[in-house]
Amino acid sequence: MKQQTTYVSKEPDAEGIIHWSEEENRIWQELVERQMKLLPDRACDEYMQGIELLDMPKDRIPQLYELNRVLERETGWNVAQVPALIPFDEFFRLLANKQFPVATFIRSREEFDYLQEPDIFHEVFGHCPLLTNPDFAHFTHTYGKLGYAADKKDRVFLARLYWFTVEFGLVKQKGDLRIYGGGILSSPGETLYALDSDKAERYPLDPLDALRTPYRIDIMQPVYYILGEFKELFNIAESDIMSLVEKAKSLGLYEPKFPPKQKAS
């Protein structure tokens, strides 16, 4: 996990309200408007249903309690305000308790198109709609419990499964590819690239393959994994994931599909 950030999360006041500036609300509005032009016919049905259920304001950043009213009703989840970066142990602990961590800052205009750190737009717009879905919520809860109990070495393998599902997953629906990964859904460039690029490789999701596939956070993904149907997330959660982690450790990683990251001089 990256250990430094230029962003500082905003703290809620005594009534639980986070006071966003006009500029921060404008950035949210512009980000939402841009993505909502792209996502119909690209995002999966479950995500679009979640967007309707949450009914998030488009002209301002939603307050966390507004999201929690819907999430608690639908799946028993809620969102939890966290600093810009949290340790993996805290990340897994929150998921294990059906709390989705949301860093309460929004990207600057200088990083409008791409931000390595998960801001409130990524977490809320990218992920929260699917937390209204029981299959996705169950998968994320199970993942959190497994990660919280796992050691450091196993968590590195589990991170790859999360990356290729929750963050960058695709699913087959009605004969077409659709997006459910929040890392894609909150990125206009990746929303187009993930479905349309002739350079990206796309394979049916085998959890063992995902556990063995290296990734980089700062490039368009060279590999995507596809669910045959959304219900597969529930089935994966019910499988013996940790035995697959042990198998992945014994088999080792696949060769990366990308060059090594250049070190800063």
Q: Is 138 annotated as a binding residue?
A: no
Q: Is 127 annotated as a binding residue?
A: yes
Helix/strand/coil percentages in the chain, nearest 5? 50, 10, 40
> Contact at 8 Å (CB) between 152 and 89?
no
Instruction: Calculate the alpha carbon distances from 116 to 103, 113, 163, 204 in Å.
Output: 13, 10, 14, 27
Closest CA to 155 of 245, 47, 72: 245
Q: Is 122 annotated as a binding residue?
A: yes
Q: Report the distance separating Cα 78 and Cα 169, nearest Å.
A: 22
Closest CA to 129 of 171, 163, 180: 180
Q: Report the distance separating Cα 21 and Cα 18, nearest Å.
A: 10
Show binding-site residues for Fe cation.
122, 127, 167
Show binding-site residues.
122, 127, 167
